[in-house]
Chains A and B, each alone.
Chain A
Amino acid sequence: GAVVSQHPSWVICKSGTSVKIECRSLDFQATTMFWYRQFPKQSLMLMATSNEGSKATYEQGVEKDKFLINHASLTLSTLTVTSAHPEDSSFYICLGVAGGEETQYFGPGTRLLVL
């Protein structure tokens, strides 16, 4: 059945480095991919919305130059955290939506720890 895979599942990196997170839709085409961030014991906060082949739309307060989102195909969307800092440590989760449908599929999430 339709699922979204997300890699890596967790990553530890040094401050100042960049980290790329990939979300792939399996058995469906994700025309829209939402990227959320979740800090410990908090809710999911939407960071950005990306549609295949177009620029991502960022929520207020999210730095587009820091969180680079690419949605080059209907099955792959990536989030790159550039020049990561300890405050970027969080749980990042993607949500793929098939075009024109109300069905959504969450990825399993990526735990990022920046030292």
Chain B
Amino acid sequence: AQTVTQSQPEMSVQEAETVTLSCTYDTSENNYYLFWYKQPPSRQMILVIRQEAYKQQNATENRFSVNFQKAAKSFSLKISDSQLGDTAMYFCAFMKLRGDDKIIFGKGTRLHILP
């Protein structure tokens, strides 16, 4: 069975700083997807970034980038130039390669961006 671990329940950083959220996972699969989802107070789940395990290049989306270390089963999210609107819960998630397989979520990290 797959597991996703987020070891930082809560973090706070000053606006404009860079912050890194940690995520490790466990799987025997070789091909899979990893995700970071943002859940603001509205509770709508928003996809931040997605990484295909078969791609060595780290995914980036504007201020968001990941450090994907497949051998170490690590998938951290870096937010650069953090903004007040980045305040939210962030969930790391895993899915097998098949698109209709379930997504397993970590417990989440609550991120506060301070003015």
* Chain A interfacial positions (CB closer than 8 Å to B): 31-32, 34, 38, 42-44, 46, 49, 51, 91, 93, 95, 97-104, 106, 108-109
B104 surroundings in chain A (CB, below 8 A): 46
Is B68's beta carbon under 8 Å from chain A?
A: no
Q: How far is the CB of B93 from chain A (nearest CB, A)?
A: 9
**How far does the Cβ of A62 sit from chain B's closest Cβ, in whole Å?**
13
Complex Cα spacing A32 to B95, Å: 14
CB contacts (< 8 Å) of A31 on chain B: these are: 100
Interface residues in B71-115 by Cβ distance below 8 A to A read 91, 95, 97, 99-100, 102-108
SS of A interface (majority): strand
A106 touches B95 (CB 8 A): no
Cα distance, A44 to B44, chains bound together (Å): 12
| Interface contact B99-A98, CB-CB below 8 Å | yes
- Beyond known contacts A46-B102, A100-B99, A106-B44: 12 more, CB 8 A cutoff: A42-B107, A43-B91, A43-B107, A43-B108, A44-B105, A46-B104, A95-B45, A98-B99, A102-B50, A102-B99, A103-B99, A108-B42
Residues of B contacting A51 in the complex (Cβ-Cβ under 8 angstroms): 100
CB-defined contacts of A34 to chain B, threshold 8 Å: 102-103
Q: Which residues of B contact A (CB under 8 A)?
A: 33, 42-45, 47, 50, 91, 95, 97, 99-100, 102-108
Contacts of A102 in B (CB 8 A): 33, 50, 95, 97, 99
> What chain A residues lie within 8 Å of B108 (beta carbons)?
42-43
Decide if A100 touches B100 in the complex (CB within 8 Å). yes
A43/B105 contact (C-beta < 8 A), A100-B100, A106-B44 known:
yes
Could you tell me the distance in whole angstroms from the C-beta of B3 to the nearest C-beta in chain A? Answer: 12
Please state if A32 and B100 are interface contacts (CB–CB under 8 Å). yes
Q: Decide if B44 touches A109 in the complex (CB within 8 Å).
A: yes
Chain A residues with CB under 8 A of B100:
31-32, 51, 97, 99-100
Residue among B91, B103, B104 with the highest chain A CB neighbour number at 10 A:
B103
A43 lies within 8 A of B106 (CB)? yes
